[in-house]
Homo-oligomer: A and B are copies of this chain.
Amino acid sequence: MARHVEPDLPPSLACLKNVDTLLRCPICFDFLSISMMTKCSHNFCSLCIRKFLSYKLQCPVCNMQMTEQDLRNNRLLDDLVANFQAARQELSKAHFESPPISPKT
């Protein structure tokens, strides 16, 4: 669920954009919060998927039929989100404080 707005990645960290995108929930687009994985291997915030399942008993991404009992905690994603956010903040700080890095030169 939305908690705060993340600053954009500086251009020199654009290569981390895919990792950033993968760690987000397909329902709320924020970073995954208490990640739950479906049987079909799709991941959502615990609150987002439970809310969705109270309306429709299927996966919001691939439409596979499912119930709340099929959800499994994906705790590694929670640890990845926390550590990625910390690294991203530290790198952004370092990159904004230093002259821009141009990998092309």
- Indicate whether A74 reaches chain B with its CB closer than 8 angstroms: yes
| Copies of this chain per assembly | 2
* Bound Cα distance A12, B76 (Å): 25
Q: Is the interface of A mostly helix, strand, loop or mixed?
A: helix
Q: How far is the CA of A91 from the CA of B11 in the complex (A)?
A: 12
Assembly CA distance A18 to B12 (angstroms): 21
Q: Which A residues, 15 to 60, have Cβ-Cβ distances below 8 Å to chain B?
A: 15-16, 18-19, 22-23, 37, 39, 41, 43
Number of chain A residues whose Cβ lies closer than 8 Å to a Cβ of chain B: 34
User: Which A residues form the contact surface with B (CB < 8 A)?
Assistant: 12-13, 15-16, 18-19, 22-23, 37, 39, 41, 43, 72-77, 79-80, 83-84, 86-87, 90-91, 93-95, 97-98, 101, 103, 105
